[in-house]
Structure 1
Amino acid sequence: MQPRPHPTLAVAFWSPKFILDVHLGLLKARSHSMEEHIGQLWHRLITRAAATGYPQAAVELTQISKAVGVLFRALGGDGGLRVEATTATAHGARRHWLQRLAGTHQQIELCWRDAEALRLPARIDCFPKKALNRDLYLWLAALAAGEIDPTQPWFQLNQALTKKTLQRFPGLQPRYQRLVKAQLALRPNLARLSPDEAAVERAIQLALRQPGSVTKWPLAKRPHQPVYLWLHPSPPVSASLVVVATPDESPTQESGKKAVDDKRRRRGERTEMPDGKKGLLAFRLESLFTMAEYTKVDRCTDDEENIEAAKQALDDMEMVSVARDNKPAASSLRFDLDLPAPAYDDTPLGEGILLPEWNYKQQQLRPDYCCLQPMLATTAQPAELPSHLKRTAHRLRRQFEALIPKRVWHKGQQNGSEIDLDAYLLHIAECRQGRMSAERGLYREFRGSSRDLACLLLADLSLSTDAWVNNNARVIDVIRDSLFLFAESLYATGDRFAMYGFSSRHRNHVRFHTIKTFEQSYDATVRGRIQAIKPGFYTRMGAAIRHASTLLNQQKLSQALLLLLTDGKPNDLDQYEGRYGVEDTRMALHEARKLGLQPFCVTIDEKARDYLPHIFGSHNYVVIRNPSELPRELPLLYARLTHS
């Protein structure tokens, strides 16, 4: 038997007023949805009508960045500069009425170069042919490889660079002529410009056809149309930001968050935190609210769920301002990289070692600039090889035993167990001819030979190694297993080796952890130190490499291998960031090579190819794509490096 509805409820739900309210609500929702749909269609239509590019012929910087980097450095460009996407900047030139209606073509990406990177457009689609857009990338790289005089006016500088580039590399002449022809086809019609704008446009076109012919630049009220073949007239210069640094997330760290890797370079500035009273300026303009000045969003704690919407908002910003919110919180989580208390820290060995550091801007070494502190794990207890590594270690030991030199006959010895018949017959023949060599050995000895080499493994123990790999192991655990198997393999060959780890916090505290010295034997004590390693702070590579080079050079053997195991690029809290840290590390490796050492880098950083060729050289590093394979690959790599 079905229950009967309550009569009061039935009247309330089916009253004429309720039905009218429902219909009005549906009409409003449908009207709002229709307005939004028509607005989107109108936006797409007017934007497409105002577009001037050729999407079908577009070339992305990611597709050609390697070729651009090779060409830039081959033509004399600074090898320490990265190749990055540039920042879109406002040009202020006259726009077509459709472009003004659509609100587009206000900004443009032009090429420029600074002390950190060569900055190129993220996408070029200005020409109708894909080959021309690709040629434009290569031409801009060749142009930026020349010597830039910042005191020259913009139009004279670009003419001088163009003229010198074509003189040095005549093979670029046909490509340049094709680009000039395509560029002139896009320039505005002189007849439709005002007299002053026409004079400027005429000078630009003449300078493109005949670089160096324009010596006096006409003046105009409005800026000219951008010139794609030239460098930026006034590259943006951002104020330096001083922010509390946190270790970079390892590229191997995986999480449930969706990430969008945007290669574009953004303009940034440091500013004061607004008071929040002028953020939303409300005025009635067809029932629209306009956001003025800023939107206060704490990006440390509030992430945009719609990542595409956040990226679109970022693309609309010409300047990204960063401010520190000093507002006290009711509760907070303290996350500082303070040093642990002495009772819980590792044991320092000595008073510290003063080391120099290379300042690439001044092109000189700063003497006694860094303090390196040797450390020894206090809580390390003797340990056995972890059970999950025993099978792999047994297989590697058997493979490495093949590297042990076999016993062979050593002929021509002054002393030995048997007479060397070949040497004796030669000695008799010389005596009968009236000449005799007193230095000739007449004996032979059956013994083994030794491998005249030493290896020092330097492991990066920065805080970034605390990241997870494939959600089942941390980077520090992978490094720990690698050290175990490396030591097991080299112990089987009898090669001299040492192992150290390093991290840093400012230049006055570079921690250099002793795991195994050259004089120590590999035993349970060393295994306990490997088991005790833990993530530290930051990565001041230069100081650690200099001290490791000193220790390795003291062995005085014919082959000395310096292996660096890392998961990222040099960085620290102070100015040891970006190119400064890269150049100091590069200089430390140059000093190591002058001592006769052989540096080699093993990394799991997927972005290492952007900076390691400049630091180590194109053949002195290897990237392990799957970090979990590092423990097995590291000993085999050592075998290949020392095979000769």
Structure 2
Amino acid sequence: MEEWVGLKWHDYVTRQAMGEFPEYAVHLKDEARTLGVLFRAMGGDPALSLVTAEPRHFQIRRKFLQKLAGTHRKFELAWRDEESLRLPDRLALFPSRKVNRELYLWLAALASLGEINHHSWLKGNQAMVQQLLERWPGLEPMYQRLVKHTLRWRPEPESLRGSEAEREAAIRQALIHPGSVDDLPDALTDPWPVVLWLYPVLGRGKLKGQIIGDDNTMSKSGGLAKKRKRRRAERVDAFDKDQGLMLFRLESLFSWSEFIPIDRAGDDSEEEDADAVADDMDMISVSQDRREASSAIKFDLDLPSEENDDLHLGPGIHLPEWDWRRQDYREKFCCLQPLLSKDAVPSPLPEHLNRSAQTLRRQFSALKPLRQWERRQLEGEELDLDACLERMVQHKRGIGEVDQKLFRQCKQNQRDLACLVLTDISLSTDTYINNHQRVIDIARDGLQLLSEALTASRDPFALFAFSSRRRDHIRFHHIKSFEEQYNDTTRGRIQALEPGYYTRMGAAIRQSIKLLQARPEHQKILLLLTDGKPNDLDLYEGRYGVEDTRMAVQEAHKAGLTPFCVTIDEEANEYLPYVFGSSNFVVIKDPTQLPGQLPKLYMNLTR
């Protein structure tokens, strides 16, 4: 009973202290699509992801009830960096759902103008507000409504003392008349957060967030992706599991609920509620404990020795990479190594694929070249009777110029296209689907069935796979070239594919472009199969990897190729529209359907 009363009292005090209006709350996940469209329509960077903002700590002067409830120490405020626009996960500051939603719209519009740094927070925000209202005068009524409600939410200057009151009055003036305040008076506490303004980048390191979607770099469903929140951390001494609950110092008992022994090298922790507990923690303590390190290591990402590695086909190929920060290429920045599996053994088509393969061969055989007669030729295998009759009629009528094309010739009607299939075999393909089949197994089956279909249609095709470990070792596995026949040797190479390393897509795509450009066919298709976002151990992650891949795809378009991506990544809608375009990719929601869907996608793509 006492615990129940305590919980009710805590909920009541917290609700009274927060000063919010939960019944009028607006959530970012519901507004993500609209905000994404608005942000880009007003000139914002289309490569930015929409992400929930991490709470910032403020030392403001709080009321007694706020101190009692422990609230108003952290605030989610809007800001942006090179990779993302960060907005509060939920807004319930004002007693109107419409005004709370307008706050989201205003922040997205303001962020479209650029970033804010620490040195120009006050002047920069005022200047951006002026610029936005000058460019889009229709936003003026909405801004005035937001200012009116914001001033009611903020503390009155009369309730503060000395320099704090002067500072609050100056902020109010800056909100009402943007550009009228040059500086703020110094005070011992932080100023009350200004929810209508952008804030500088939080911290110096790379930040991860909770990604929201819309129709470009955000998910079309508008749903939430996996949470990746940023936490403060401290290093502590190793935790002795044998001590039990009674630690050496009695006062440590008060922090026991905030300590979790995290095994950094393993992914099979028995703490079922670890994610929920960590989500509520402000600081995570990390300790080093090497006593059981050898038993926790699951794999080794070091490259294999030369005698145990696949066969190297040449010394390596140096390729450029696009650096979006410099807006220029880094020439000869990557080294791509063509490889041929030495463990591959010629093998027939797996038995479980025989039935599907027979169906596909029958369907795709209708696409193979057909022999057709071409009439009215100057030379050919047979006389064209219709042309001969017309010539006799013209001769009897005395027509001077007589048609000399009296033959017909049988020619083969060719499908003038070539396809290169590029498969991602990074370490993420070792993941199990439904606890019984790995992604790499599904990808192998898909390659086998697609190859059977393309062989039946007689379309020239090549198969390659890739993975990477930093820029100086990009593994490009040779499975089948355009000149090779598809046979048991090729099937054995497909079955020998194993997952490993990372996903440096840009270099693999550029090498595929070179191979396709050498083909004489008119239509050239680059079909990419992947299960995740571009990434690698070095700087090739986040926006850097996405931008390089996007530039490689643009190079493919300029070369006259048709790049198309097939993925099973659930979060692909966050970045693939930006990389490949809205109509040049497809997401297979059920990975087990990939083998059957892949030939159908190819048929639709080449029809």
Partner of 1:18: none
Partner of 2:66: 99
The answer as to 2:344 corresponding to 1:377 is no
Matches within 5 A, 1:121-270: 121-148=88-115, 150=117, 153-232=120-199, 234-239=200-205, 263=227, 265-268=229-232
Q: Which letter maps to 2:539?
A: Q
CA contact (8 A) 1:280 1:292 kept: no
Partner of 1:327: 290
1:136–1:434 Cα change, 3 Å: farther
Partner of 2:281: 316
CA contact (8 A) 1:93 1:222 kept: yes
Matches within 5 A, 1:39-78: 39-78=6-45
Normalising by structure 2, what TM-score? 0.87
1:292–1:155 Cα change, 3 Å: farther
Sequence identity, in percent? 49
For 1:142, what is the secondary structure of its paired residue? helix
Q: Which letter maps to 2:572?
A: A
Equivalent residue for 1:419, pick from 374, 384, 394: 384
- Pick which of 622-631 and 524-533 moved more: 524-533
CA contact (8 A) 1:502 1:511 kept: yes
Q: Which letter maps to 1:332?
A: S
Partner of 2:438: 474
CA contact (8 A) 2:80 2:115 kept: no
Structure 1 position 421, deviation (Å):
4.8
Alpha-carbon distance between aligned partners in 1 of 2:398 and 2:406, rounded to the nearest angstrom: 17
CA contact (8 A) 1:236 1:267 kept: no
Alpha-carbon distance between aligned partners in 2 of 1:375 and 1:189, rounded to the nearest angstrom: 70
Spell out, residue by residue over 1:495-543, the C-alpha distance to the aligned partner (whole angstroms, 9 max, x if none): 0110111111222211111111100111111111112111122111111
The answer as to 2:606 corresponding to 1:639 is no
Alpha-carbon distance between aligned partners in 2 of 1:454 and 1:567, rounded to the nearest angstrom: 24
Structure 2: 5+ residue stretches without partners: 208-223, 241-245
Alpha-carbon distance between aligned partners in 2 of 1:322 and 1:631, rounded to the nearest angstrom: 43
For 2:454, what is the secondary structure of its paired residue? helix
CA contact (8 A) 1:276 1:296 kept: no
CA contact (8 A) 1:268 1:322 kept: no
Q: Which letter maps to 1:414?
A: L
For 2:179, what is the secondary structure of its paired residue? coil
For 2:295, what is the secondary structure of its paired residue? coil
The answer as to 2:555 corresponding to 1:591 is yes
Structure 1 position 589, deviation (Å):
1.4
Q: Which letter maps to 2:510?
A: R
Structure 1 position 103, deviation (Å):
0.7
1:492–1:311 Cα change, 3 Å: same
Q: Which letter maps to 1:190?
A: P
- Pick which of 591-600 and 57-66 moved more: 57-66
Structure 1 position 341, deviation (Å):
4.0
1:171–1:443 Cα change, 3 Å: farther
Partner of 1:254: none
Alpha-carbon distance between aligned partners in 2 of 1:467 and 1:90, rounded to the nearest angstrom: 38
1:65–1:36 Cα change, 3 Å: same
Matches within 5 A, 1:458-473: 458-473=422-437
Structure 1 position 146, deviation (Å):
0.7
Structure 1 position 170, deviation (Å):
3.3
Q: Which has the higher contact order (CA 8 A, sep 6+)?
A: 2
1:420–1:147 Cα change, 3 Å: farther
1:210–1:420 Cα change, 3 Å: farther
Spell out, residue by residue over 1:31-79, the C-alpha distance to the aligned partner (whole angstroms, 9 max, x if none): xxx5544433332232122121122222222222232222222222222
CA contact (8 A) 2:369 2:458 kept: no
Equivalent residue for 1:557, pick from 497, 521, 526: 521
Matches within 5 A, 1:5-84: 35-84=2-51
CA contact (8 A) 2:262 2:286 kept: no
CA contact (8 A) 1:85 1:264 kept: no
Alpha-carbon distance between aligned partners in 1 of 2:113 and 2:388, rounded to the nearest angstrom: 65
Q: Which letter maps to 1:176?
A: Y
Q: Which letter maps to 2:464?
A: Y
Alpha-carbon distance between aligned partners in 1 of 2:66 and 2:329, rounded to the nearest angstrom: 54
CA contact (8 A) 1:281 1:289 kept: no
Spell out, residue by residue over 1:325-380, the C-alpha distance to the aligned partner (whole angstroms, 9 max, x if none): 26344853543112334444321111111112222222222222221111112122
1:83–1:261 Cα change, 3 Å: closer
Q: Which letter maps to 2:202?
A: P
Structure 1 position 580, deviation (Å):
1.7
Alpha-carbon distance between aligned partners in 2 of 1:194 and 1:518, rounded to the nearest angstrom: 79
Structure 1 position 148, deviation (Å):
3.1
The answer as to 2:578 corresponding to 1:611 is no
Alpha-carbon distance between aligned partners in 2 of 1:330 and 1:397, rounded to the nearest angstrom: 52
- Pick which of 579-588 and 557-566 moved more: 579-588
Structure 1: 5+ residue stretches without partners: 1-33, 242-259
Alpha-carbon distance between aligned partners in 2 of 1:624 and 1:207, rounded to the nearest angstrom: 51
Normalising by structure 1, what TM-score? 0.83
1:128–1:316 Cα change, 3 Å: farther
| Greater C-alpha radius of gyration | 1
CA contact (8 A) 1:604 1:627 kept: yes
CA contact (8 A) 2:370 2:414 kept: no
Spell out, residue by residue over 1:193-230, the C-alpha distance to the aligned partner (whole angstroms, 9 max, x if none): 33533332333233323332333434444322211111
1:218–1:610 Cα change, 3 Å: same
CA contact (8 A) 2:301 2:501 kept: yes
1:613–1:567 Cα change, 3 Å: same
Partner of 2:475: 511
For 1:350, what is the secondary structure of its paired residue? coil
1:415–1:74 Cα change, 3 Å: farther
Spell out, residue by residue over 1:392-413, the C-alpha distance to the aligned partner (whole angstroms, 9 max, x if none): 1111222222323544443453
Alpha-carbon distance between aligned partners in 2 of 1:190 and 1:392, rounded to the nearest angstrom: 76
CA contact (8 A) 1:458 1:501 kept: yes
For 2:586, what is the secondary structure of its paired residue? strand
CA contact (8 A) 2:79 2:115 kept: no
Structure 1 position 169, deviation (Å):
2.9
Structure 1 position 566, deviation (Å):
0.4
Structure 1 position 461, deviation (Å):
0.6
1:481–1:44 Cα change, 3 Å: same
Q: Which letter maps to 1:235?
A: V
Structure 1 position 106, deviation (Å):
0.7
Alpha-carbon distance between aligned partners in 2 of 1:50 and 1:495, rounded to the nearest angstrom: 70
Matches within 5 A, 1:402-551: 402-416=366-380, 417-419=382-384, 421=386, 443-551=407-515
The answer as to 2:52 corresponding to 1:85 is yes
- Pick which of 411-420 and 632-641 moved more: 411-420
Spell out, residue by residue over 1:169-194, the C-alpha distance to the aligned partner (whole angstroms, 9 max, x if none): 33433333332232223222233233
For 1:83, what is the secondary structure of its paired residue? strand
Alpha-carbon distance between aligned partners in 2 of 1:641 and 1:267, rounded to the nearest angstrom: 45
For 1:514, what is the secondary structure of its paired residue? strand
Partner of 2:243: none
Q: Which letter maps to 1:353?
A: I
Partner of 2:324: 360
For 1:545, what is the secondary structure of its paired residue? helix
CA contact (8 A) 2:239 2:261 kept: no
